[in-house]
Amino acid sequence: MVSPDSVRTVMHAADIARALTRVSHEILESNKGADGLVLLGIPTRGVTLAERIGALLAEIAGASVPVGALDVTMYRDDLHRNPTRTPRPTSIPAGGIDGKTVVLVDDVLFSGRSIRAALDALGDIGRPAAVRLAILVDRGHRELPIRPDFVGKNLPSARSERVNVHLAENDGIEEVTIAS
pLDDT at 82 over 80: no
pLDDT value, residue 87: 80
Bridge partner residues of 133 (DSSP): 104
Q: Report d(CA 164, CA 57) in Å as an integer.
A: 25
Task: Give the whole-number percent of the chain exceeding pLDDT 90.
Answer: 86
Is the separation of the CB atoms in 11 and 153 below 8 Å? yes
Mean pLDDT across the stretch 20-30?
Answer: 98
pLDDT at 84 over 80: no
pLDDT value, residue 66: 98
Q: What is the pTM for the complete model shown?
A: 0.93
The per-residue pLDDT for range 94-124, each reduced to its tens digit, is 999 999 999 999 999 999 999 999 999 999 9
pLDDT value, residue 78: 74
Q: Domains of the chain by range and CATH?
A: 36-74+89-160 (3.40.50.2020)
Average pLDDT, the chain: 93
pLDDT at 143 over 70: yes
Q: Which residues contact 32 (CB under 8 A, 6 or more apart)?
A: none
13 pLDDT band, cuts 50/70/90, is very high
pLDDT value, residue 86: 76
81 pLDDT band, cuts 50/70/90, is confident
Where does residue 148 fall: left (phi above 0), alpha (psi -120 to 50 degrees), or beta otherwise?
Answer: beta
